[in-house]
């Protein structure tokens, strides 16, 4: 794994390039973000935003979505993968929020992870984006980027999360989640990463020497 000085430089560059990173999911309150993140599992943010634009215009509280019922909710999210199971989970989650949390999204990991359709990754996104906690939600992008550039050496998302929280300087922990996702989504892509335009390519651990570019990811 790369050293502490290099790690700090990586996040300094991310910070200078994008001082206030955030999720690309469109939301206006904590509840909308929770629903959007549940919907984003195995789906793109773009597809979720397209569906929630109409959904949230019609129903953006636990009570209003509960009133739609599973069948009604499906009509709004049927363009999203796994929409049937997601609709059931969202209605069940709304029921719990209403009955146990006064229709508020709880600021507690255990409570969040007890909601249907909410796992550790989703809970981390909510804790980070809604409540400002320095959590890191390891999705496929972060898992790939962290292992590829040398920030982590792990075989599971939880191991990557723990390693990142251990090595990333405190001042960057809150925003690291967003920087790494965006880097993986637009630069350090799974296939044919855009190494020539990568702002940390000289710091990346994985590189081959090829004509015209001395810093190309494997």
Q: Which residues are catalytic?
A: 121, 139
- Cβ-Cβ contacts under 8 Å for 64 (sequence gap 6 or more): 58
Q: How far is CA 163 from the centre of its chain?
A: 17
- Could you give the 3-state DSSP secondary structure of residue 164? helix
- Give the pair of three-digit tokens for residue 105: 């999204």
- Alpha helices for 44-134 (secondary structure H): 45-58, 62-77, 83-100, 109-113, 120-129
Rounded CA-CA distance 117/123 in Å is: 10
Cα angle, residue 207 at apex, residues 151 and 162 outer, rounded to 5°: 10
Closest CA to 103 of 33, 31, 39, 55: 31
By the 8 A CB rule, do 128 and 173 touch?
Answer: no
- Give the pair of three-digit tokens for residue 185: 């989504």
Closest CA to 162 of 172, 150, 170, 154: 154
* Count of CA atoms in the C-beta half-sphere (13 A) of 91: 15
Q: Given the structure tokens 């300087």, which residue do they identify?
A: 169
């Amino acid at each position: 794994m790369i050293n502490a000085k290099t790690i700090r430089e990586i996040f300094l560059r991310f910070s200078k390039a994008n001082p206030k990173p955030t999720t690309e999911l469109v939301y206006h309150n904590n509840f909308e973000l929770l629903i959007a993140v549940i919907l984003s599992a195995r789906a793109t943010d773009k597809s979720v935003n397209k569906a929630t634009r109409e959904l949230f215009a019609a129903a953006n509280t636990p009570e209003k979505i509960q009133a739609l019922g599973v069948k009604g909710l499906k009509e709004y999210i049927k363009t999203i993968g796994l929409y049937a199971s997601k609709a059931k989970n969202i209605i069940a989650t709304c029921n719990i929020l209403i009955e146990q949390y006064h229709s508020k999204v709880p600021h507690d990991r255990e409570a969040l992870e007890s909601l249907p359709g909410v796992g550790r990754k989703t809970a981390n996104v909510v804790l980070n984006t809604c409540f400002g906690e320095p959590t890191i939600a390891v999705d496929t992008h972060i898992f790939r980027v962290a292992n590829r550039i040398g920030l982590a050496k792990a075989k599971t998302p939880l191991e990557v999360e723990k390693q990142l929280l251990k090595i990333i300087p405190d001042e960057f922990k809150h925003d690291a989640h967003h920087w790494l996702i965006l880097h993986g989504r637009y630069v350090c892509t799974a296939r044919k990463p855009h190494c020539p335009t990568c702002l940390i390519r000289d710091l990346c651990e994985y590189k081959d020497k090829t004509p015209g570019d001395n810093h190309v990811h494997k």
